[in-house]
Amino acid sequence: MLVVTLGIFMFSLLGLPPLAGFTAKFQIFQVLFEAADHYNKAGQPWLAWTLYGVVIGAGFNTVLSLFYYAKVLKVMALEAQPRGGRRPARPPDAVARHPRPVPLGVGRRPARHLCFLGSPRARQLRQGVNSFLTPRP
């Protein structure tokens, strides 16, 4: 069941026609192509060819995504499951002793959620991020 659900989501991201991702991808391609055609008629062929290049690049990216998603689904659906008394993997003891906080929200001070608040690296990161939030004269 999980394989089928993940397959539907992946193929929707890919933009196959019966899924919702196709509608979004088709509209993006259509708007880019129409804008390129408009710029070509307006006497700005360099902008038109740039947008045509974006359409071609996005199409190439879709083909690459197809191979990637098909490989992931093949591994999930067709490869044999290991048998025997295999236990789930445990994190190393160092990771278990020092859990990292999960970033629950960004808010006004996003650096608070990056790592431990007391470590020198965290203070450095906080100062760097917070420097962008303070208004400059």
pLDDT less than 50: residues of the chain: 114-115
Q: What are the extents of the domains in the chain?
A: 2-78, 108-137
- Both tokens assigned to 60: 């190439």
Q: What pLDDT sits at residue 7?
A: 85
- Cα separation of 18 and 85, whole Å? 42
- Cα separation of 55 and 29, whole Å? 6
Long-range contacts of 57-63, Cβ-Cβ distance < 8 Å, separation of 24 or more: 58/25, 58/28, 58/29, 58/32, 59/29, 62/14, 62/15, 62/25
pLDDT in tens, 90-117: 655 555 555 555 555 555 555 555 445 5
What amino acid occupies position 13? L
